Amino acid sequence: MSALLLTILATSIPLLLAATGELIAERSGVLNLGVEGMMLMGAVAALAAVLYTGNPYSGILFGALAGVAVSLIFAFFAVTLMTNQVATGLALTIFATGFSGLAGAPLVGKTAESLPPLDIPVLAHIPLIGELFFQQDILFYLAFALIIATSLFLKRSRGGMILRAVGDNHDSAHALGYSVQKVRWMAVAFGGACAGLGGAYIPLVLTPHWSEGMTAGRGWIALALVVFASWIPYRIVIGALIFGGITILQLAGQARGWPVPSQVLSMLPYLATILALVLMSMRKSSHHITVPFCLGKPFHPGN
């Protein structure tokens, strides 16, 4: 039982990290569909850094930096040049998918040292709870710390108020003297760092090697998680655990030989994603949904 719960938690962390970053970007009014590409770049950069330095913690830094670098390309086109955000994000994912495959080709077949678990004194020895929550790696704790920090930032800080103002009405925020483009650049960069960390978690913890497309659609699920969570940070945890559990369910089904085609089992996480989005769209009470009013809309300073 504990092994199953540990696997579900570990599978949920990349989704949690990537969705948290995308939530901040979207609350500023920017829809970045390049999450999958940023995760792939974070994964290949993290593994390359560990193989080169021999230090697994270097993978955290370089994974985040790779995500930021790719996100800044998106910000330049979508925020500064005001290109279509959907098209730019899709193009970014296509570019990053190809580039990560090229950069990762020399890494195929190589394995790297994984992030070591950090035992929290006293708490780590609590039955079941200690094993699940207090004997984990540093990215595990960082993912949950980011959720708490993001929630407090959006609700209780001046910076969070400015971010929400830019996402809800960028013209009013600009009239009040706030730099809409600066806020969005920083939000997109934060989203890129989180996506890069989510991608880095895969080779650093889950599977310590490189294979092309190893994120396996997690970036798209992270995008759906933001909608599932109604742009509220703590709900991302619930969604990530649900989708993590469904992913493990399809793996368990294949391992135990369930009388269901393996292709159908592999589809389960993505079918669940579509179902969640359909159910969200069918909700009649919109007062629980905090979608930013200016999401996906370019800001024209001259207007």
List of residues 6+ apart from 284 with CB closer than 8 A? none
* Residue of 31, 8, 114 whose CA lies nearest to 292: 31
Give phi and psi for 32, each to the nearest 5. Answer: -105, 105
The first and second tokens of residue 215, run together, are: 């994120």
Axis-axis angle for helices 180-201, 2-27 (nearest 10) = 160
DSSP at 259: S
Task: Say how far residue 263 (Cα) sits from the centre of its chain.
Answer: 25
Place of tokens 């959907």: 86
Q: What is the pLDDT along the chain (303 residues), one digit of tens a residue?
A: 577 788 888 899 999 999 999 999 999 999 999 999 999 999 999 999 999 999 999 999 999 999 999 999 999 999 999 999 999 999 999 999 999 999 999 999 898 889 998 888 878 778 878 888 888 999 999 999 999 999 999 999 999 999 999 999 999 999 999 999 999 999 999 999 999 999 999 999 999 899 999 998 899 999 989 988 889 999 899 889 888 888 777 777 666 777 777 677 677 777 777 777 777 666 645 445 578 999 999 998 765
Task: Confirm whether pTM is higher than 0.85.
Answer: yes
Alpha-carbon span 92 to 62, nearest angstrom: 19
pLDDT at 285: 52
Q: How far apart are CA 113 and CA 57, in angstroms?
A: 10
Q: Report the alpha-carbon distance of residue 233 to residue 95 in Å, rounded.
A: 29
Contacts of 90 (CB under 8 A, 6+ apart): 33, 34
pLDDT at 287: 47
Residue 302 confidence (pLDDT): 66
